[in-house]
């Protein structure tokens, strides 16, 4: 049996790598390029990202699910891989050609930057990370990506020196993504054999991939469209503020997404073998873990936000403080929904409920963005995102309320949220009384962590004693009946 704990560690490293390495460069890039250039990068990347999303259809979740089901049969595994990847090549090639047409015919604003983002669009056809995730081989992707991305970080510090180096910055990021995709290909040897799929075998994956593509598009409407709408309806400066706000709030998602990436193939395999008892236990433990973590991070980030922004990004990004504080509720919403999605809806192939929840969130987001971005800029996009994630979370909870034990989930979650609230008040007061400095930030983080952990330990001890007390009462009642 593949170690779930080891995979979780590797998946955390993989996801945190994607979040933390850009965060390492952010203080430097924010000061060197400035808010407007950061906004230009965010705007052009968001447009390119739409082409990549369409190129990838629903291959990531669908590929993981398919590979997890047949991973013990090399012949079937080979057929699944080559037929799925064959379809991926077709869709990726089509979208790359359309992107080239977009560059030539429409000659978009910031054309030179958009051309460099084309490398990122081209890289979509070589992305086979879903295959190794389906096999639960997270070590391969983590180690290779770490090495390549560290090289990219070093290149940024060496070659990006002033505000005129935005094209160099975009080129380094784009080529880095391409290399992280290509480096996985040599490791296919030994896992599968060469196989030429028929057109019929390739096409059979289109419908299920297209179904899982719908949620990808829905999510993009409030994760990517925000940036495009900001760039079109507001200023590049506001886009720059929003870009850095997202970088901070995305840090906790590294751990949360890591858990989902590990549990999706495992839960798919468990349910395929009808081990429903294990399935329920996994969900209960996962929900408790992510709500503990997300509560700590949401309230912790909100508490340090106003001090963190000018200290970390520089004085030009002081406005990010209030934006970060306002957007932190999505950490809790996304943590809760991630467990429901990756450990119940997707493994049980309840794709319709998953898709409907995301489209509900997308509609809410587009409405709020349209109304608020012209007036409030980045804050309008933040409020739209919070409303969207809240809608998705509530919708998914309602549709599975009869299948999962939400009474216990809510009890533990409310406790963690209350503890987080206490921590937030203390941390915020420290920031208000001390000057904006690195010392203040370190003090806030240290005090906040100690308070949250101590209160949680007290809660766990009390809860454990109550459970033991109830156990003794139940045993006594059984003896009395005898």
pLDDT tens readout for residues 95-154: 999 999 999 988 888 899 999 999 999 999 999 988 888 887 777 777 887 888 889 999
Looking at the domain assignment, is residue 410 inside a domain? no
Average pLDDT over residues 449-461: 89
Query: CA 174 from chain center: how many Å?
Result: 19
Looking at the domain assignment, is residue 84 inside a domain? yes
**Residue 135 phi/psi, 5° resolution?**
-80, -5
Token pair in block for residue 191: 């896992």
Q: How many domains does the chain fold into?
A: 1
Which residue reads 């480096």 in tokens? 183
Looking at the domain assignment, is residue 309 inside a domain? yes
If DSSP codes are grouped into helix, strand and coil, which group holds residue 192? Answer: strand
**Residue 234 phi/psi, 5° resolution?**
-130, -140
Looking at the domain assignment, is residue 412 inside a domain? no
* DSSP at 349: T
pTM above 0.85, yes or no: no
Query: Quick check: 42 and 243 in contact, CB under 8 A?
Result: yes
Looking at the domain assignment, is residue 43 inside a domain? yes
d(CA 71, CA 272): 12
For 43-57, 82-96, 345-359, 448-462, which range has the lowest pLDDT when averaged over its residues? 345-359
Residues 6+ apart with CB under 8 A from 291: 332, 335, 336, 409, 412, 413, 416, 417
Alpha helical stretches, state H, 341-405: 351-376, 378-399
Query: What mean pLDDT value characterizes the chain?
Result: 84
What pLDDT was estimated at residue 3? 57
d(CA 57, CA 91): 8
Q: Taking CA 364 as the corner, what is the angle to CA 361 and CA 370, rounded to the nearest 5 degrees?
A: 135
Domain that holds residue 270: 4-404
What pLDDT was estimated at residue 444? 94
Looking at the domain assignment, is residue 149 inside a domain? yes
Among 94, 119, 130, 118, residue whose Cα is nearest residue 209: 130
Helix (H) or strand (E) holding 482: none
**Alpha carbons within 13 A on the beta-carbon side of 38:** 26
* Percent residues over pLDDT 90 in the chain: 37
pLDDT tens readout for residues 239-272: 889 988 988 888 777 666 666 555 555 665 666 6
Looking at the domain assignment, is residue 434 inside a domain? no
Look at residue 479 and tell me whether its pLDDT is greater than 60: no
Query: CA 94 from chain center: how many Å?
Result: 26
Query: Quick check: 95 and 121 in contact, CB under 8 A?
Result: yes
For the CA atoms of the chain, what is the radius of gyration?
A: 23
Looking at the domain assignment, is residue 140 inside a domain? yes
pLDDT tens readout for residues 181-227: 899 898 888 888 888 988 988 988 888 888 777 777 777 776 777 88
């Amino acid at each position: 049996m593949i170690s779930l704990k080891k995979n979780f560690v590797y998946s955390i490293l993989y996801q945190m790598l994607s979040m933390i390495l850009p965060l390492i460069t952010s203080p430097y890039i924010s000061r060197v390029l400035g808010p407007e250039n950061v906004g230009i990068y965010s705007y052009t990347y968001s447009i390119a990202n739409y082409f990549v999303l369409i190129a990838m259809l629903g291959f990531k979740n669908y590929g993981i699910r398919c590979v997890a089901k047949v991973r013990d049969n090399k012949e079937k595994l080979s057929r699944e891989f080559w037929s799925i990847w064959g379809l991926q090549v077709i869709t990726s090639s089509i979208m790359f050609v359309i992107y080239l047409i977009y560059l030539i015919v429409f000659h978009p604003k910031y054309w030179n930057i958009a051309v460099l983002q084309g490398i990122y669009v081209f890289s979509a056809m070589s992305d086979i990370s879903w295959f190794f995730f389906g096999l639960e081989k997270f070590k391969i992707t983590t180690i290779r990506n770490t090495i390549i991305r560290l090289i990219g970080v070093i290149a940024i510090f060496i070659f990006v020196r002033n505000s005129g180096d935005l094209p160099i910055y975009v080129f380094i990021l784009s080529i880095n993504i391409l290399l992280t995709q290509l480096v996985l290909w040599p490791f296919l040897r030994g896992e599968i054999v060469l196989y030429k799929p028929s057109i019929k075998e390739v096409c059979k994956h289109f419908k299920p991939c297209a179904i899982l593509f719908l949620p990808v598009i829905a999510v993009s409407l409030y994760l990517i469209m925000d940036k495009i709408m900001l760039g079109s309806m507001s200023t590049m400066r506001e886009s720059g503020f929003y870009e850095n706000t997202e970088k901070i709030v995305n840090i906790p998602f590294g751990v949360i997404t890591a858990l989902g990436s590990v549990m999706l193939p495992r839960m798919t395999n468990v349910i395929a073998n009808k081990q429903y008892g294990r399935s329920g236990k996994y969900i209960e433990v996962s929900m408790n873990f992510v709500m503990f973590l997300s509560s700590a991070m949401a309230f912790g980030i909100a508490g340090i936000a106003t001090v963190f922004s000018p200290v970390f990004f520089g004085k030009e990004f002081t406005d990010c403080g209030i934006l970060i504080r306002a957007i932190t509720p999505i950490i809790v919403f996304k943590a809760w929904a991630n467990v429901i999605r990756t450990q119940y809806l997707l493994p049980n192939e309840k794709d319709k409920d998953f898709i409907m929840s995301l489209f509900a969130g997308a509609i809410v987001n587009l409405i709020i963005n349209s109304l608020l971005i012209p007036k409030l800029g980045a804050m309008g996009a933040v409020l739209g995102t919070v409303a969207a994630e809240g809608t998705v979370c509530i919708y998914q909870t309602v549709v599975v309320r009869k299948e999962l034990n939400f009474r216990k989930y809510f009890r533990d979650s409310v406790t963690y949220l209350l503890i987080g609230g206490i921590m937030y008040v203390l941390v915020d007061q420290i920031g208000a009384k001390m000057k904006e400095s690195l010392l203040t930030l370190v003090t806030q983080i240290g005090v906040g962590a100690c308070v949250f952990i101590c209160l949680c330990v007290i809660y766990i001890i009390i809860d454990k004693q109550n459970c033991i007390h109830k156990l003794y009462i139940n045993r006594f009642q059984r003896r009395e009946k005898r």
